[in-house]
């Protein structure tokens, strides 16, 4: 109960925890995915740009080696746009600048590319296809990065051979970096949107979940504050919260039934105790004049006191057993009801002097509480002996196993039988048929039979026997688990 009340107090913090948790998980996942995606995209774009640049340089080197080209072959004034210069510009949008002998600029690029001593030296090379990075490094992969008008370029210089000049090729990569930075910003915006959306979804989901928890906590608080168990408990939903609500509702139902049973037991017990107590008080008052009574009356008075005290003791013991539910403390083991019937028959023969016959068929072994089952069967035999006083036929115990109801146990007698009006009430607590009110007993024996049968997954039954007498017994399947209750 306290846990429910604490849950009501902390409902808001639970919503916040859900929202923050969702946002945190979304943030981690989004950042990781964003970083990995951006890094992969940036690598692919940069590698692709470099590959295009290297391919253009390679094609130019092959071309100048195979053909004896001059700087004027790369002039920008070709009206058909099908010259060597156009072949360089078309695939990669590169900037081309032509150098003559001595590194003199013959045709400027747009923008104009820088020319240094290394580039001039490359223009005077005898061998075609030699490249330079502008720092004196010559080789197939020679290139350098430069800044022109605030933009970044990668460039290289390729010799035409024979000292005729060189071709400078530059590829702008700053626009690619700008594109990647824009992609980075957009990725950040999307990540932030995902995080905020996740936080909202987490808050909304937590609100849906905690709303039912708050209602459940309210029901628990109402029960704690008022003591009323007829409180409506929210049980909607098929998830764990719905299962908790149904469990709580079943718990309140069982508590209500238990309290009602206790109240009824106390009322019935008070009613039943008044009779023997009144009789005892009357007989005790007669003890004051016991000297004035004749010997026969004295013996009768003492016998009445002893009988009433025994009945009162038996009644109190049965009430205590019913109220305490001792059978629940008994361990569950395999019980062979055929053997239990034999044990009960031996005790009943010694107590009553009557002949008790036992007949068992089928598998009579169940999982149960042996002492409780033995007491239930003993109550049936004692009840039969009480109503069939002076009978000549044996009292029969029939145990039948392997039936759909589990195991059936019944006790057959040839007594006066049971009236139609009493068949449905013989198992009620303290109920005693008119024909039995003059006989000793508390009216709890058959009620205990019903309790034991119910605890073992069965039911008690009472029937009139063909030819006279009664057939009273019970069916059992085995001790029920918590899920079955």
CATH number at residue 439: 3.30.565.10
Q: Which of 485, 482, 14, 8 is nearest to 224 (CA)?
A: 8
Residue 219 inside a domain? The answer is: no
Residue 169 inside a domain? The answer is: yes
pLDDT band of residue 336 (cuts 50, 70, 90) is very high
Q: Looking at 272, 300, 324, which one is the last position of a domain?
A: 324
Residue 189 inside a domain? The answer is: no
Backbone angles phi, psi at 272, to 5 degrees: -70, -30
Q: Kindly state whether residues 344 and 404 are assigned to the same domain.
A: yes
- CA–CA gap between residue 133 and residue 153 (Å, rounded): 12
Q: Kindly state whether residues 319 and 348 are assigned to the same domain.
A: no
Helix axes 370-387, 337-352, angle to 10 degrees: 40
- CA–CA gap between residue 154 and residue 133 (Å, rounded): 10
pLDDT band of residue 82 (cuts 50, 70, 90) is low
Q: Which tokens in the block code for residue 336?
A: 């062979």
Residue 243 inside a domain? The answer is: yes
Beta bridge partners of 107: 98
Q: Kindly state whether residues 312 and 364 are assigned to the same domain.
A: no
Residue 213 inside a domain? The answer is: no
Could you tell me the sign of the dihedral formed by the alpha carbons of 25, 26, 31, 34, in that order?
Answer: positive
Q: Kindly state whether residues 298 and 338 are assigned to the same domain.
A: no
Backbone angles phi, psi at 439, to 5 degrees: -95, 155
Q: What's the mean per-residue pLDDT of the chain?
A: 76
Q: Kindly state whether residues 395 and 426 are assigned to the same domain.
A: yes
What's residue 411's pLDDT? 92
Beta bridge partners of 354: none
Q: How many domains does the chain have?
A: 3
What's residue 6's pLDDT? 45
Q: Looking at 282, 309, 324, which one is the last position of a domain?
A: 324
What's residue 359's pLDDT? 93
Please tell me what DSSP assigns to residue 295. Answer: H
- Mean pLDDT over 110-120 rounds to 86
Q: Kindly state whether residues 19 and 166 are assigned to the same domain.
A: yes
What's residue 407's pLDDT? 93
Residue 185 inside a domain? The answer is: no
Residue 485 pLDDT greater than 50, yes or no: no
Q: Is the model's pTM score more than 0.85?
A: no
What's residue 322's pLDDT? 61
Residue 301 pLDDT greater than 80, yes or no: no
Q: Which tokens in the block code for residue 213?
A: 């928890």
Residues 238/396, Cβ–Cβ less than 8 Å: no
């Amino acid at each position: 109960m306290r846990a429910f009340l604490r849950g009501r107090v902390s409902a808001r913090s639970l919503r916040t925890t859900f929202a923050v948790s969702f946002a945190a998980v979304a943030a981690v996942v989004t950042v990781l995915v964003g970083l990995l995606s951006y890094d992969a995209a940036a690598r692919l774009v940069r590698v692709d740009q470099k590959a295009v640049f290297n391919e253009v340089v390679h094609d130019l080197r092959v071309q100048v080696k195979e053909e004896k080209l001059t700087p004027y072959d790369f002039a920008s004034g070709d009206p058909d746009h099908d010259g060597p210069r156009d072949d360089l510009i078309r695939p990669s949008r590169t900037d081309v600048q032509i150098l003559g002998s001595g590194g003199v600029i013959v045709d400027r690029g747009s923008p104009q590319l820088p020319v240094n001593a290394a580039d001039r030296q490359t223009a005077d090379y005898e061998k075609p296809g030699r490249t330079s990075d502008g720092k004196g490094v010559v080789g197939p992969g020679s290139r350098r990065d430069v800044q022109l008008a605030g933009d970044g370029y990668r460039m290289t210089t390729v010799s035409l051979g024979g000292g005729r000049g060189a071709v400078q090729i530059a590829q702008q990569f700053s626009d690619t970096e700008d594109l990647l930075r824009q992609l980075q910003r957009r990725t950040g915006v999307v990540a932030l949107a995902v995080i905020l959306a996740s936080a909202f979804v987490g808050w909304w989901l937590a609100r849906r979940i905690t709303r039912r928890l708050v209602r459940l906590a309210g029901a628990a608080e109402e029960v704690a504050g008022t003591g009323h168990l007829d409180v409506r408990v929210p049980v909607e939903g098929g998830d764990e919260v719905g299962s908790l609500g149904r469990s709580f509702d079943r718990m309140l139902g069982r508590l209500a039934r238990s309290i009602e049973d206790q109240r009824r037991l106390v009322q019935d017990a008070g009613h039943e105790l008044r009779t023997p107590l009144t009789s005892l008080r009357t007989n005790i008052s007669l003890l004051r004049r016991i000297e004035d009574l004749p010997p026969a009356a004295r013996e009768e008075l003492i016998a009445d006191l002893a009988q009433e005290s025994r009945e009162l003791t038996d009644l109190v013991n049965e009430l205590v057993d019913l109220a305490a539910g001792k059978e629940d403390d008994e361990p569950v083991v395999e019980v062979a009801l055929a053997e239990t019937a034999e044990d009960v028959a031996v005790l009943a023969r010694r107590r009553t002097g009557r002949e008790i016959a036992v007949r068992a068929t089928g598998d009579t072994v169940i999982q149960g509480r042996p002492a409780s089952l033995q007491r239930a069967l003993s109550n049936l035999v004692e009840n039969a002996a009480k109503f069939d006083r002076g009978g000549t036929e044996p009292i029969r115990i029939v145990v039948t196993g392997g039936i759909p109801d589990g195991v059936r146990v019944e006790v057959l007698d040839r007594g006066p039988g049971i009236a139609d009006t009493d068949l449905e009430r013989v198992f009620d607590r303290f109920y005693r048929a008119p024909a039995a009110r003059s006989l000793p007993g508390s009216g709890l024996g058959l009620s205990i039979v019903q309790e034991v049968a119910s605890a073992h997954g069965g039911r008690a039954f009472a029937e009139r026997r063909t030819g006279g007498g009664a057939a009273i017994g019970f069916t059992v399947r085995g001790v029920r688990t918590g899920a079955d209750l």
